[in-house]
Amino acid sequence: MDDRSAVPPPHPAQDVTEHVGYRLKRAAAALRGAMDKALREHGLTVPQYSCLEILDQRPGLSNADLARGTFVTRQSANVVLRGLREAGLITRAATTDHGRALPVHLTPAGQQRLHAARGAVYAVERRMIGHVPADRLAALLADLDAMTAALDE
C-alpha cells in the first residue's frame, strides 16, 4: 500500500520538490549560502550581520529582542553578541537603570563594518530578485507575508 496516496497533497504536485515548503527552503538555503560567502569577506556571519542591521535601526535592544529579530535562541544570540563585542563592533552595558535587559549598541567600528557588509548583502538580494519581474515583486512580498501570517495564527 502506498502511504502517499492516503493523504492528498495541499496542491497538485508530482513530488516533494514541487511543494511550496520545499521551494521556500531551497530558496532560503541558496540565500543563506550566498550571504555566507559575501559576509565572509567582511569577517561576519549571517546572524552577526543581522544583529548589526537590527541594532542600526533600533539601538539599545536587549539580547532577547535581538534573538527574536534574528530568528535564533537567546543562547545563540549570546554567542553572537559575545563575538561582536570581542571584535569591538558592539557595546553592551554591564548594568541597566531599569529591568534586567542589558541594552546593546553599535560602536563606530560596528557601524563601519555594517555599512561595508551591507553593500555585499544588497548585491546578493539584487541578484536574487533580478530574476523576478519587477511588476510581480510587490505581490511576491505580500504572498510571503500572508504565508507567514497563516502559520503564526
* CATH number, domain with residue 83: 1.10.10.10
Residue at 13 is within a domain: no
pTM of this structure: 0.84
Q: 91 forms bridges with which residues in the sheet? A: 105
Rounded CA Rg of the chain = 19
Residue at 70 is within a domain: yes
Residue at 59 is within a domain: yes
- Does 1 have pLDDT greater than 70? no
**CA distances for 138 relative to 97, 141, 142, 144, 145, angstroms:** 43, 5, 6, 10, 11
Residue at 28 is within a domain: no
d(CA 90, CA 77): 13
Q: 67 forms bridges with which residues in the sheet? A: none
pLDDT tens figures, 21-61:
999 999 999 999 999 999 999 999 999 999 999 999 999 99
Question: What residues make up the domain containing 75?
Answer: 33-152
Helix (H) or strand (E) holding 37: helix 20-40
> Is residue 56 within 8 Å of 107, Cβ to Cβ?
no
- Does 92 have pLDDT greater than 70? yes
Residue at 12 is within a domain: no
